[in-house]
Amino acid sequence: MAKPIVLIAEELSPATVEALGPDFDVRSVDGTDRPALLAAIADADAILVRSATKVDAEAIAASTKLKVIARAGVGLDNVDIKAATAAGVMVVNAPTSNIISAAELTVGHILSLARHIPAAHAALAQGQWKRSKYTGTELFEKTVGIIGLGRIGALITARLQAFGVKVVAYDPYITSARAQQLGVTPVSLDELLEQSDFISIHMPKTPETTGMIGAEQLAKMKPTASIVNVARGGLIDEAALHDALVAGTIRSAGLDVFVSEPPAPETPLLALENVIVTPHLGASTDEAQEKAGVSVAKSVRLALDGELVPDAVNVAGGVIDPLVRPGIPLAEKLGQVFSGLATAALTSVDVEVRGELVDYDVKVLRLAALKGIFTNVVSETVSYVNAPLLAEQRGVEVRLIAAGASDEYRNLITLRGALADGTQISVSGTLTGTKQTEKLVEINGYDVEVPFAEHHIVMVYADRPGIVAVYGKEFGEAGINIAGMQIARTEAGGQALSVLTIDSPAPDALLESVRTAIDAQLLREIDITE
């Protein structure tokens, strides 16, 4: 069987290829050579890029096999995420690969601004000894304002606190408890601008944050203050910043990012002595590049194996809490049981989570359930990316419900759905014991407790004596071993539900024979695909 093809479109660290391992056919192409890229991507299962290769709608459409686009870095400006999602292609990046490098560069800019290091170096290199001109300022007992107290902001805070500074922060999403944990004083944006001697901005670039530091905000800063941007170009209005620096509204600025990169040589900011600039070096360390490559290589392996990828950006990815993670395969298996019981097209499904898990982000369980529902239903490969698309294309309404406590279990995941023929289906599962054993605990209102296996038989029939002997004899004579069995009923003499786990698949003829022998209202074999 041919190995999946992984296309590397830019220079990545040797550790990246090592992390992919021997299971892939790794090929290389110059991603900036458009004809070569389109030809090479045609039969690729995955492509790894940095920032120079544009993976747009045309490139995505050029391949019928592409399953994952991996960007060895943080930004995704060169990837058409919307086109990838529409094509069912997962997009992954390495969101934490450069956070230490970016934090350290920010501290470097602040120190350089405080002590005029680049200008003093340039003057001395030209034979000029200007000690008095480059008298600086200490960081000790100064106030540093952090705009955006995410992962990078927190790292900068920890590093600057060693200098004896006071850190204030503006972040509308940070809790007071988190701020206290970091040793930071939360303030409004205006308060931060007015109090800070040095300001560093670490916000994502969105329509709301673009230009968030403009003329009005710069005017509120101290005339002795400095501002640094190592995050995204455009967060600071460059024209307003230039005017403020020329007018002496603020003292200096350090910039690693620009609205247009590279900035034109005639860009006014580049000519100012009180500006320190670097060419977008936030992630430009050997360590960050290696971390990014290894991270996305691992994501590619997961994606091509059909597993959940925590760093996928076009699905509910992100960090998955360790308490939630064991529920992912359980939800997927419940989805397979759910679709195995369906007698008509699905019109709606609720993924309900109860118990301790409701205190965590459980969006991933909705994805896992949908992946399970469609795995054995559609001909195409189902992933965590295209499962929601498959539901949308089929007009299936999907809801995630975090419903509070469970009366019987620490955690309970339930799938409830409506079918086009008017019938309802429900299945529930839980994890038990120290080994987190996956168990099926409810089917259509019948209480059971059956560990998941590879092959299951679900039967509903009129409760009466001798039925177990009848189907036991049928399976025995066919050489099908029954590994486990549980029977549930709502009342004596009513309907009974029987769940069997069997060691091998049952032939269709055998299932029909059993159905006839016990006059079953429902008889389904449900095979679980890992």
**Model confidence pLDDT, tens digit, residues 408-436:** 899 999 999 998 888 999 999 999 888 88
Would residue 315 count as lying in a domain? no
Regions of the chain where pLDDT drops below 50: none
Contact 148, 106 (CB under 8 A): no
Question: Is there a single domain that holds both residue 415 and residue 434?
Answer: yes
Say which of 50, 109, 116, 232 is annotated catalytic. Answer: 232
Question: Is there a single domain that holds both residue 57 and residue 195?
Answer: no
Contact 53, 351 (CB under 8 A): no
Position 378 scores a pLDDT of 66
Which domain CATH number covers 43? Answer: 3.40.50.720
Question: Is there a single domain that holds both residue 242 and residue 156?
Answer: yes
Position 431 scores a pLDDT of 92
Q: How far apart are CA 273 and CA 369, in angstroms?
A: 58
Which domain CATH number covers 472? Answer: 3.30.1330.90
Would residue 251 count as lying in a domain? yes
Question: Is there a single domain that holds both residue 79 and residue 105?
Answer: no
Q: How far apart are CA 283 and CA 290, in angstroms?
A: 10
Would residue 322 count as lying in a domain? no
Position 75 scores a pLDDT of 76
Position 174 scores a pLDDT of 72
Percent of the chain with pLDDT over 70: 96
Active site residue 208: no
Helices (H), 412-482: 467-477
Q: How far apart are CA 235 and CA 251, in angstroms?
A: 19
What is the number of domains present in the chain?
3
Question: Is there a single domain that holds both residue 360 and residue 509?
Answer: yes
166-192 pLDDT per residue, tens: 999 998 757 677 788 899 999 999 999
Position 53 scores a pLDDT of 94
Domain span at residue 498 reads 327-527
Tell me the two tokens of residue 151: 């992962």
Question: Is there a single domain that holds both residue 137 and residue 194?
Answer: yes
pTM over 0.85: no
Question: Is there a single domain that holds both residue 233 and residue 293?
Answer: no
Residue 48: Cβ-neighbour burial (10 angstroms; 0-12, 13-18, 19+): buried
Say which of 261, 287, 477, 512 is annotated catalytic. Answer: 261
Question: Is there a single domain that holds both residue 480 and residue 420?
Answer: yes
Question: Is there a single domain that holds both residue 354 and residue 464?
Answer: yes
Helices (H), 43-172: 57-61, 81-86, 99-115, 117-125, 151-161
Position 318 scores a pLDDT of 52
- How does DSSP classify residue 270? G
Say which of 50, 109, 242, 280 is annotated catalytic. Answer: 280
Would residue 318 count as lying in a domain? no
Would residue 404 count as lying in a domain? yes
Burial 350-370 (b: 16+ CB within 10 A, else e): bbbbbbebbebebbbbbbbbb
Q: Are strands 424-432 and 437-443 parallel, antiparallel or unpaired?
A: antiparallel
Would residue 161 count as lying in a domain? yes
Active site residue 34: no
Contact 253, 95 (CB under 8 A): no
Question: Is there a single domain that holds both residue 103 and residue 240?
Answer: yes
Q: How far apart are CA 231 and CA 102, in angstroms?
A: 8
Position 322 scores a pLDDT of 76
Residue 188: Cβ-neighbour burial (10 angstroms; 0-12, 13-18, 19+): exposed
Q: 446: which strand partners?
A: 443
Question: Is there a single domain that holds both residue 201 and residue 255?
Answer: yes
Beta strands in 9-49 (DSSP E): 25-28, 46-49
Question: Is there a single domain that holds both residue 299 and residue 364?
Answer: no
Would residue 40 count as lying in a domain? yes
Would residue 264 count as lying in a domain? yes
Position 320 scores a pLDDT of 67
Q: How many C-beta atoms surround the C-beta of residue 266 within 10 A?
A: 7
Active site residue 232: yes
CA torsion sign for 480, 481, 486, 489 is positive
